[in-house]
């Protein structure tokens, strides 16, 4: 049960809220940077050297720098396969670092929005999962992110968790960009077709950032502390690849010679175990009431293909 909380500075929207974004160089962080002049917020985007989640002292020092009103924690060790081998570092960033961050933010009365993942689910096949469903990660990354969530809920009186799934954008590394490259450089591309997924377009989060902060304020004295944030509808990686394929043909005005081959998840070799189904249930009625709007993932995938293609053509 949450306590009644006086949240500083939430009443006056014209005031410049100081928003610290951890993980600002990543896909979602870059999209937030693009929005920074469209809000009244004063954003801070430290690098992972300036605020290193794997270093307790670095977290504490950075939070002593200023009186932040909000922290949005996008920082994470996100290499799912790498996390199987680099267990210490992924645990220190995704779990222990988040625990320290939660305690420090709570002590300093800084509101905390922590970003998590559909990978906290997977062992139990009851998707689409609702925010408060029992968690059951199948790999080490999912376990560290799940423990990070628990650390926020235990150590911060008002912190919230927002879970994304299969994030894509024109920035950083993601399936859409990898697939463009593969389709343009390989005669045969094998893509998993029996894994059900939700998708999060990074820009949907950044364009709604003011409303998301507002949602924190509205929720402060409720028990709602976990949210899912994904585009409407579900998909498979194979369906996403087919859209990328046809969009490439439209843009390039030619047929691709590449053969797109559907395969089963069991045929796909990877260091980390994956679940067949980690779809997240997103409450769109609730978001709409809070003026938070989502784009269709199909349109967003096509947009990313158009935006990312010139640079990929330069690279290949």
Ligand X SMILES: NC(=O)c1ccc[n+]([C@@H]2O[C@H](COP(=O)([O-])OP(=O)(O)OC[C@H]3O[C@@H](n4cnc5c(N)ncnc54)[C@H](OP(=O)(O)O)[C@@H]3O)[C@@H](O)[C@H]2O)c1
Query: Of 217, 230, 244, 253, whose CA–CA distance to 298 is shortest?
Result: 244
Contact 182, 244 (CB under 8 A): no
List 19, 29, 70, 247, residue binding ligand X (CB under 6 A)? 29
- Binds ligand X (CB under 6 A): choice among 20, 21, 26, 140: 26
Q: How many other CB atoms are found less than 10 A from the CB of residue 270?
A: 12
| Nearest residue to the partner ligand X, using Cβ | 26
Give dist(CA 312, CA 315) in Å, integer.
5
Among 115, 120, 179, 304, binds ligand X (CB under 6 A): 115
Contact 69, 17 (CB under 8 A): yes
Residues 236-295 that bind ligand X (CB under 6 A): none
Under DSSP, is residue 168 helix (H, G, I), strand (E, B) or coil? strand
Cα–Cα nearest to 210, from 119, 292, 266: 292
Q: Which of 43, 52, 68, 83 binds ligand X (CB under 6 A)?
A: 52
Nearest distance from C-beta of residue 202 to ligand X, angstroms: 6
x/- contact string, 69-88, with ligand X (CB under 6 A)?
A: -----xxxxx----------
Based on the shown chain and the rule CB under 6 A, indicate whether residue 28 belongs to the binding site for ligand X.
yes
Minimum CB distance to ligand X smaller for 10 or for 168: 168
Render 249-314 in DSSP notation, one character per residue.
Answer: HHHHTS---PEEEEE-GGGS--SS---SB--B---HHHHHHTT-----HHHHHHHHHHHHHHHHHH
* By the rule CB under 6 A, 136 interacts with ligand X: no
Structure tokens at 43: 């954003």
Q: What is the DSSP letter of 94?
A: I
54 part of the interface to ligand X, by CB under 6 A: yes
> Tokens 């069991």 correspond to what residue?
266
Minimum CB distance to ligand X, residue 132 (Å): 18
The phi and psi torsions of 312 (rounded to 5 degrees) equal: -65, -40
Whether residue 49 is preceded by a cis peptide bond, meaning omega within 30 degrees of 0, is no
Q: Which of 19, 21, 23, 206 binds ligand X (CB under 6 A)?
A: 23
Q: Is 27 in the site for ligand X (CB under 6 A)?
A: yes
**Least distance from ligand X to the Cβ atom of residue 41, Å:** 19
Sign of the Cα torsion 170, 171, 173, 174 reads negative
Binder among 72, 93, 160, 244 for ligand X (CB under 6 A) = 93
Is residue 206 part of the contact set for ligand X (CB under 6 A)?
Answer: no
Query: Which residue, chain included where needed, has tokens 């390039």?
Result: 252
Listed ranges 21-29, 128-136, 212-220, 263-271: which one lies at the site for ligand X (CB under 6 A): 21-29
Indicate whether 131 belongs to the interface with ligand X (CB under 6 A).
no
Name which of residues 147 to 176 contact ligand X (CB under 6 A).
164-167, 172
* Binding footprint of ligand X on the chain (CB under 6 A): 22-29, 47-48, 51-54, 74-78, 93, 115, 117-118, 145, 164-167, 172
């Amino acid at each position: 049960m949450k306590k009644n909380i006086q949240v500083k500075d939430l009443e006056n929207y014209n005031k410049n809220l100081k928003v610290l974004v951890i993980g600002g160089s990543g896909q979602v962080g870059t999209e937030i940077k693009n929005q920074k002049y469209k809000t009244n917020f004063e954003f801070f985007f430290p690098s992972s050297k300036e605020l290193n989640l794997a270093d307790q002292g670095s977290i504490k020092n950075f939070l002593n720098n200023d009186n932040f009103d909000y922290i949005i924690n996008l920082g994470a060790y996100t290499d799912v396969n790498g996390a199987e081998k680099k267990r210490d570092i992924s645990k220190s960033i995704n779990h222990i670092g988040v625990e320290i961050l939660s305690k420090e933010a709570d002590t300093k009365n800084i509101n905390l929005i922590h970003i998590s993942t559909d990978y906290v689910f997977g062992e139990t096949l009851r998707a689409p999962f609702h925010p408060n469903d029992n968690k059951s990660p199948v790999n080490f990354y999912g376990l560290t992110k799940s423990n990070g969530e628990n650390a926020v809920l235990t150590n911060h009186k008002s912190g919230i968790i927002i879970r994304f799934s299969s994030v894509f954008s024109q920035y950083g590394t993601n399936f859409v960009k990898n697939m463009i490259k593969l389709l343009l450089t390989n005669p045969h591309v094998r893509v998993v077709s029996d894994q059900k997924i939700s998708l999060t377009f990074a820009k949907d989060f950044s364009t709604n950032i003011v409303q998301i902060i507002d949602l924190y304020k509205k929720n402060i004295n409720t028990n709602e502390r976990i949210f899912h944030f994904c585009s409407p509808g579900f998909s498979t990686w194979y369906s996403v690849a087919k859209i990328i394929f046809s969009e490439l043909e439209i843009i390039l005005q030619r047929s691709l010679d590449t053969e797109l081959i559907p395969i089963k998840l069991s045929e796909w070799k990877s260091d980390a175990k994956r679940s067949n189904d980690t779809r997240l249930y997103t409450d769109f009625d609730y978001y709409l009431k809070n003026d938070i709007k989502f784009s269709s993932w199909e349109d967003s995938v096509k947009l990313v293909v158009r935006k990312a293609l010139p640079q990929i053509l330069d690279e290949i």
